[in-house]
């Protein structure tokens, strides 16, 4: 058990998730639980943070496996008895694969991780969030899921043709709205964040290497919303440069 806030980050072993974990441990004294599909990769990250004097552990977490999700939730319950923050970070962008995936495969695989897996994980740890005195959920999303921006022909987001990814991120916004409603009774803060274009493997297909920010910078708004106090905002969608329309 620990008095520090306990935060689970899906996809926490690389990219934006790893940067978020580092900022939370080093700047906010959170105990971060690295959710990693590859157990060894998660263990390496946790060991690195521990060696630097920070509080971290790991769980094997595959969003396409109900057994993995259930085992991760059980491990957190047994070790900590609660969860203070859930950062739904893990996701895939498959619209740019070469050769292109068949349309049904593209949508099935994209939604399996980005929507179905995210919903299953949130459902599994909801009882642990209810045991927190300051529960927070952050859904990492993208402006490309905004219905307002995607229907405005003057915006960049209108022109980018990532149909499966866009649709999945619009669905993630609805997940956030629903969990905000479900957890209203305990005063949880549930928000959506767009980290912007970040230099990660996920975003490589949209010019991230040339135009994106470093993951540590991209994690800024995620960390801000993961560390909200009880009087913080809820049911918002934002980036570092301001609010995003639904």
Q: Exactly one of 55, 57, 142, 168 is catalytic; which is it? A: 142
DSSP sequence for the chain: --SS-EEEEETTTSHHHHHHHHHHHHHH--EEEEEESSHHHHHHHHHHHHHTT--EEEEE--TT-HHHHHHHHHHHHHHHS--SEEEE------TT-SSPPPHHHHHHHHHIIIIIIHHHHHHHHHHHHTT-SS-EEEEE--GGG-HHHHT-TTSHHHH---HHHHHHHHHHHHHHHHHHHHTGGGT-EEEEE---SBSSSTTGGGTHHHHPBPHHHHTHHHHHHHT--TTS--S-EEETTEE---
Token pair 């987001």 is found at: 157
Known catalytic residue at 169: yes
Known catalytic residue at 26: no
Q: Exactly one of 22, 36, 57, 169 is catalytic; which is it? A: 169
For the annotated catalytic residues, the residue numbers are 142, 169
């Amino acid at each position: 058990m620990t008095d520090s806030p306990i935060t689970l980050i899906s996809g926490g072993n690389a990219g934006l998730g790893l940067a978020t974990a580092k900022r939370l441990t080093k700047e906010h004294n959170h105990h971060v639980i690295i959710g990693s599909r590859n157990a060894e990769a998660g263990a390496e990250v946790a060991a690195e943070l521990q060696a630097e004097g920070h509080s971290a552990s790991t769980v094997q977490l595959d969003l396409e496996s109900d057994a993995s999700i259930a085992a991760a939730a059980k491990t957190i319950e047994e070790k900590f008895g609660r969860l203070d923050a859930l950062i739904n970070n893990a996701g895939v962008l498959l619209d740019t694969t070469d050769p292109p995936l068949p349309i049904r495969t593209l949508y099935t695989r994209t939604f399996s991780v980005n929507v179905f897996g995210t919903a299953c994980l949130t459902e599994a740890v909801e009882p642990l969030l209810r045991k927190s005195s300051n529960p927070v959920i952050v859904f990492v999303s993208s402006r490309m899921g905004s219905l307002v921006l995607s229907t405005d022909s003057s915006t960049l987001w209108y022109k980018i043709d990532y149909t499966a990814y866009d649709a999945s991120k619009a669905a993630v916004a609805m997940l956030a709205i629903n969990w905000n409603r479900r957890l209203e009774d305990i005063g949880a803060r549930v928000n959506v964040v767009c980290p912007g274009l970040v230099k990660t493997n996920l975003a490589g297909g949209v010019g991230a290497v040339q135009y994106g920010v470093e993951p540590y910078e991209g994690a800024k708004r995620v960390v801000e919303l993961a560390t909200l106090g009880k009087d913080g905002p809820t049911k918002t969608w934002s980036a570092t440069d301001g609010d995003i329309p639904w």
